[in-house]
Amino acid sequence: MQEFPHHYRVSAAAATEGTVRVSAAELPSLDTMPPPQYGGEPGHWSPETLLVAAVADCFVLTFRNVARASRLEWESVKCNVEGTLDQVDRATLFTHFEINAELRISDPNSRGKAERCLEKAERACLITNSLKAETTLHLHVEINNAA
């Protein structure tokens, strides 16, 4: 890992109407639009969906690192996140992220360790730690009986 601080550069460009093109060096560009709640067309990524996706992605990547450091053997993880956008004191902001994590393991004796790793991933996620919104973690550990 590189020493801190890390810097991430992203550009956005648009005409007077239509999508906004978001780009960064060595990454595929994304076309975004306001979400339908703000008059955008369905079927496009928006700043709001990208932020919620960042929470889900960061949780999964953090879980991978926590599980590796804890020597937890696992098969798959799935994370669904719902972000709540609301108005507080006339400011529009995300107030809550509900994280639903599903983890599949094969060793039933690892359930407690697996739950602790999921909880640690939620606490260590740099994206949610960078935001004012509260987070709630709901976890489900499934034992793969076929193993």
Q: 30: buried, middle or exposed (CB in 10 Å: 19+, 13-18, 0-12)?
A: middle
Distance CA 51, CA 54 (A): 5
CATH numbers and ranges of domains, the chain: 47-143 (3.30.300.20)
The tens digit of pLDDT for each residue in 32-53 reads 999 999 999 999 999 999 999 9
Using the predicted structure, report yes or no on whether residue 115 has a pLDDT greater than 80. yes
The tens digit of pLDDT for each residue in 57-109 reads 999 999 999 999 999 999 999 999 999 999 999 999 999 999 999 999 999 99
Contact between residue 122 and residue 98 where contact means Cβ atoms under 8 Å apart: no
Contact residues for 119 (Cβ-Cβ < 8 A; gap 6+): 137, 139
Contact between residue 46 and residue 40 where contact means Cβ atoms under 8 Å apart: yes
Using the predicted structure, report yes or no on whether residue 147 has a pLDDT greater than 70. no
